[in-house]
Structure 1
Amino acid sequence: MTLSLGKKALILVAVPLVFELGFVASFAYLVNQVDRERAREAHARDVAGHLNILLRLVMERSSSLIVSHFTSRETFRRRADAAKKRFYKEKEIITGLVADNPHEKESWDKIYKLMDDGDRFFDHAKTMVDIGNKLAAGMEMVKVNRLMADVFQAIDHLVEEQEAETQETKKKQAEVRAQIEILIYAAVFLNILLAVGLALSFNRSTAQRLKVLLDNTYKVASQQPLSAPLRGDDELAHLDRTFRKMADALASMRRKESAILTSAADIICSLDEERRFTQVNPAASKQWGYESDDLIGRRLDQLVDEADLKTTIDHINTIIETKGHGAFTNRIVIENGEERDCEWSIVWSNEEKSLMCVVHDITERKQIDQMKRDFVAMVSHDLRTPLTSIQMVHSLLAAGAYGDLNDDGKESVQGAQDSCDRLITLVNDLLDLERMESGRMDLSLDSIPLSDIIKPSINMVANAIKQKKIELILDSSIDPVVRADKERMIQVLINLIANAVKFSPENSTLQITSDSDDKFAIVRVKDEGRGVPESMRSSIFERFKQVKKSDSKERKGSGLGLAISKAIVELHGGQIGVEPVEGKGSTFFFSLPIADKKNPEQT
């Protein structure tokens, strides 16, 4: 069973702590023993010292009495009295010292009794001296000397016992000191042994497991197989299992990424700051004819068409300097010498210090666009002349140049004329569209009142307004001077009004208003038709876009009018848009720049 990290930490703390507490307790016990032995030694010295003092006082008192007996001097008598007082004091001290030791107390009690008897003999001898009976005094002193010999012998015996005890306590102190030294050395050794043992155990059970986790991180980074899973149920084992799940997810992501890169139709590559290829997917072989190994380390400059080289380098340098992203097109010279038009989408990676590129081959798209332009140009020019001729014949037939027509004939001619007009309008729209895409739509700008655009436009669609019985409300109280191409802007406004009439119900209202600020004049065309859905506010201005697919048949529209109108307005520097409220009509608007009064000839 593998212990958790928390339990291991508890063991690392608890084991040394228990050991230290045991060491401290043993050390305290030995120190206490030393203190007890020192106390015994001090006690023995005190008892022996006071016994020696007591002996000296006994001898001093005896000698003073003997001298005073023979000399009758008062000095020796007083000295004997002083020694007696000190003698009693020492007796009390010794009695207190031996009170707690039964053996010493027993020996001292014997000495004390002998000394009391001797003290009575001393007092009797002193009395005999005082009354002048020196013989009796001498006899008492003899008794004192005999008794003192027993006292001295008993005191010497007790002193010897105290000295023996002192030696014994010193010996025991030496033994305890040796035990303390052994304990310290043993504690140091065991502490080192315990630290090494715990360290080895931790290293084997934890550090090595951590090393496995660390090695696995390097193996994941280098995409190598991971080490064997860690056993157990501790935190490291849980971490290892979580890490393996993450590694499996990363491996799955790498496989998916590799599959995407391998199967991607577009070329996906990375360039360093010197525009050298560092990684290329297999699509380069299919599109450019170069194997990935042939491109890695090669500069992009060697593949770009010379005419596009400078702009390509400028685009890439700008992306690197801004550490951002960008897109551009250029031509690449492929392995067989052909040129391919390519669209580059590039992002700078600050972590990798590389450009991450996606290259889309647009050669076929450009060819198709060119074919479309050629087709539109061909159809437009080839249809325009015969349609004009047909229109003229219809006009002559309608005018009766070839004789009067009955009602059915007139109706047929009018229908053919309407169809021819729609075809001519479609051809003109296609020609305008081709001019816009090729950048050949020129404007003849002039400073004109806004009313010069609005009034002719209304006149051109007056019949259609009248036929649907639509009430026209014109608010042109403001008539700013704008800078515009009159004919082109009339074309735009006719288109907006015609659309409004086309999608408005009969007996509805059509409102045309104008407004201006310091920079732009704004014209609005508001109808009461079905409106434009919010989702189509932008897309309705694209080519061939209708609100409903059926509008091209039911409303007879080509879907080019708004796209052409948007291009014309934007060429003027204005904007065009719609403010829809679906189901409640639409308000289309466009803006034109106000003419500069100081410089009316601006272009």
Structure 2
Amino acid sequence: MDVSKKLLIVIYTMFALLTLLLIVAAHTILLSSFLDLETRDTIKNTDKIEQAIAWEALSIDRTARDWAYWDDTYDFVKTLNPEFINSSLDDDTLYDLDLNVMLFVNKSGVVVHSLSIDLINGTNVPVPTGILEGIDSGLLTTRENMDHIQGIVLLDKGPMLIVGRPIRANLEGGPSAGTLLLGKYIDSSYIDSLEERTQSSLSLHTLNEEMPPDFQDAFDKAVRGDGDAVNILEDGRVAGYFIMRDPAGDPVAIMRTDYPRDLYAQGKKTLIYMYCFLLLSGLVIGTATKFSLDHLLVSRLVAIDSFLEKVKREKDTSQQLEMEGEDEIHRLSKGINEMLSSIRLAEQELKSREYEKKFILDSLEEIVVLRDPKFNICWANQAALKNKDLLTVEVKELPFDSPQAADKDIVQKPLYPRAPSWTDQEFTSFEGKTWLLRSKPICDENGDTIAILENGVEITERKNYETELFRAKHDAEVANHTKSEFLANMSHELRTPLNSIIGFSDLLYEKVYGELNVRQLKAVGNISSSGKNLLNLINEILDLSKVESRSFDLHYSTFGMAELFAEVRDMLFPFAASKGIKIELKVENNLPRVSADRERIVQVLSNLMTNAVKFSNENGCVRVKATQNNDFIQIAVSDEGIGIAAVNHDKLFKPFSQIDSSSSKKYPGTGLGLALVKEIVQLHGGSVWFESEAGKGSTFIFSIPLKQE
């Protein structure tokens, strides 16, 4: 199997695994999000239905207040004056109020007058027995300090919304003469009207009848207080539920509102589109990657193999292998060319040793011209004769004995100014080739110019190479910037689930959801600490990527170094105390306040002091000192730890770099801290350096300007 087929298998396998991983992650996360969104939407719509019934009760309550606080009503209950019935309580009263029942109950709990009709059939009906029983039991009569009755009463004909108000002579809370009760059936016509207003499907079940399983489950959940009840029905609809209560606050009925699962269906459809896009993207990217590798690697290796076979077959070492780029394969091609050139030169040396002096100049590919001090051409080699347009613009007769006397086309004037300090001049010939023309004055013992030697080298390939190099540099910068933006976005995306992991693990560790045994508590603690360590790493990567993408902003404020030192020391005290390390702080007297990004300076000082504690021996000492040096504040952090050998100094401020693998195992870390320290200090206009020897401790020093420029 050749390299191209192997690459094809590897690339498609990698992209297949990556696509599968993305699909699984998207399905798990997004589908859960759609379910949560559907639940919240259902709860919101259920709340709207419950609010609509509440508004109905409020409307009836306004009517009850108008009637109950009417002086004529008060007098009627006290005197039973029939004129009030004739003038105010005719047969159309309940129709106008859209009510089924109106009862006037005196203070003794006796119904002194009642109105009860069937709004659908338009007939008078007896007062429901359940209401009378509620009056007799005192449930539907007002008492002292009670000015409101509201709830659902279960009657033989169905549930009724009851609202009651005490009958008083005025609104200021005078003595009560009894109770006014208004009622309206929650029947099928009312539910149909409510469905039309809310554009939903409603169902009602009372507790005195056998309820369907989903109603029973929702009721039990509401009674236990497990949160809002939402169920997925068998016909693929989603339903929300709420409890309806009697005037005493006890549940008497439960209402369900259900909707088609359009939101969830649209989410699943979106996921299908996403899966198709991921699969198609994987195929396209995999194919593009394969062809790119073929172009950049495989095809070039095949070209080298074919070239060597051709040289071997033709035994012609004068051929040259041309490879574009600046990589290992290009250097390999240069090595092959150099090897062939060495072989060819060795062969030529054996064949043409006696002729080399005679033809050396004419064999050169460079232009060589000798001019007198007046810039008349004295001699030119064959390369110059082949490129006359690079030399002159006029014809000049050469001496008879000159080897170029027969050529009358050489012109005497140069293409550049006449001055003894000339060096280089680029020129493009008529054939489109680029030449580098150079001149050098030849002087006698007195320093006078006696001749001028000119030579020219074709640099077409070099110019093309410089152009390609510039483009490659630009592409690399764009790629690096894109990488930094991608890393910053991914770091933001990673921090969201990490915060959730840390938060829930902390809740578990604090036993918010119940008791844990020792092993469980230790495991949850490990999850929390590992999550926080990973979050710190992501924050450091995000800061570094912001610096690289030039989106790292500083927020300046004025503060004192003493309070800053104390804050960082308090943060690191538990860590230092665990190793028995003492932290000594020293701030120069009369040290002025600093204008800088306080949060970032805390980050710099915390990183340096954390490193000092980490790499210090137990029961050691870390010293932090702040002094003024001209217009800069200079801060030094010293430890008595393992020190840093001189050969490792260059690694300190490089991202993801540590001194060696053994130290990284003993002293864990990512190698980002000092890199961020350097970038943050330089963004403030300061500098960072260090002094250290292996085994003798280290001192990191950084300086920042006193004032913002």
TM-score in terms of structure 2 length? 0.36
- Which of these two proteins has the greater Rg computed from alpha carbons? 1
Which structure shows the higher strand fraction? 2
TM-score in terms of structure 1 length? 0.41
* Higher-RCO chain (CA-CA 8 Å, sequence separation at least 6): 1
Which structure shows the higher helix fraction? 1
